[in-house]
Copies of this chain bind each other. A is one copy, B any other.
Amino acid sequence: MENIIGILGGMGPGATADAFSKLVSHTPAKKDQEHIPVIIASLPGIPDRTESIIHDGPSPLPGMLNSLKILEDAGASCIIMPCNTAHFWYEDLRASTPVTFLSIIDITCQKIISDKRDSVAILATTATVRTELYQNKLMKEGISCIIPDDINQKNIMNSIINYKAGNYQAAYDTMASYVENLEQKGVNTFIMGCTEIPLILKPIAQKKPEKFIDATDELIKEAIRWYYEASGINIRKAH
């Protein structure tokens, strides 16, 4: 049976579309039929992840499990979920399915470790920062993490909320100003650890790609590697 990548999306839909576009553009296909089969569930009614973690809002887990079931039933053989904060529930999701489920957090941390970065600034939702999804893994490897203070974290969260509301300029201004401030202090690696952030910071991240680790991009590259390996295709010889 053919391998299919399942995208557990909707968190948010813009980030899902970005992940799908990156999957298509990173695939070395020369015609439609060489592209990777993908099923996407973008059911954005799933309750807000940060609200659930920080303000005890409704759990997104039942909604995520529903999307996961849809992807499984549709034949997905590998699941990816382009939302960092949602990985707070990663073990619950992984345990509930027989299908391979790649973790955006593990893959991004692996990239940072293999790049031998010694210090990284984390740009993420308040929930991702507070639950230490990135810090837990990186600090074990001796990589120090720069975390915003409460005021800056509130600004970063507002930038993400603004982006989701369609206020792109306000989102960019807030986030870029924080980044520039850290750059002046000598910080030179930023994890874009929320799938809206590569969209928000596009103008600045495109100019200085060596400074920005795009978690979505790392997840997609790993999903493509997974697909070629599972399908027994040598990616270098594929075309």
Residues on A lying within 8 angstroms of B by beta carbon are 2, 4, 10-14, 16-17, 20-21, 24-25, 27-48, 70, 73-75, 161, 164-166
Contacts and interface: CB of A to CB of B under 8 A. Distances in A.
Contacts of A4: 43
Number of copies: 2
B40 A39 contact: yes
Given A21-B21, A37-B45, 14 more contacts: A13-B32, A13-B35, A17-B21, A17-B24, A28-B166, A29-B164, A30-B166, A32-B44, A33-B46, A34-B44, A37-B44, A38-B40, A38-B43, A39-B70
Task: Name the residue in A33, A36, A73 with the highest tally of chain B Cβ atoms < 10 Å from its Cβ.
Answer: A33
Contacts of A31: 48, 161, 164-165
A40 B37 contact: no
A32 B11 contact: yes
A145 B13 CA distance: 38
Contacts of A46: 32-33
A157 B186 CA distance: 51
A73 B14 CA distance: 24
B39 A10 contact: no
Contacts of A73: 73-74
A40 B10 CA distance: 12
Given A17-B20, A32-B164, A38 B42 contact: yes
Contacts of A70: 39, 74-75
A12 B32 contact: yes
A29 B75 CA distance: 30
> 10 smallest A-B Cβ distances: which pairs?
A40-B40, A35-B44, A12-B32, A38-B42, A17-B21, A13-B35, A30-B165, A32-B44, A13-B24, A37-B43
Contacts of A45: 2, 33, 37
A29 B167 CA distance: 11
A54 to B, nearest CB: 16
B44 A42 contact: no
Given A17-B21, A74-B74, A37 B42 contact: yes
Contacts of A43: 4, 37-39
A29 B32 CA distance: 32
Nearest to A41: B39
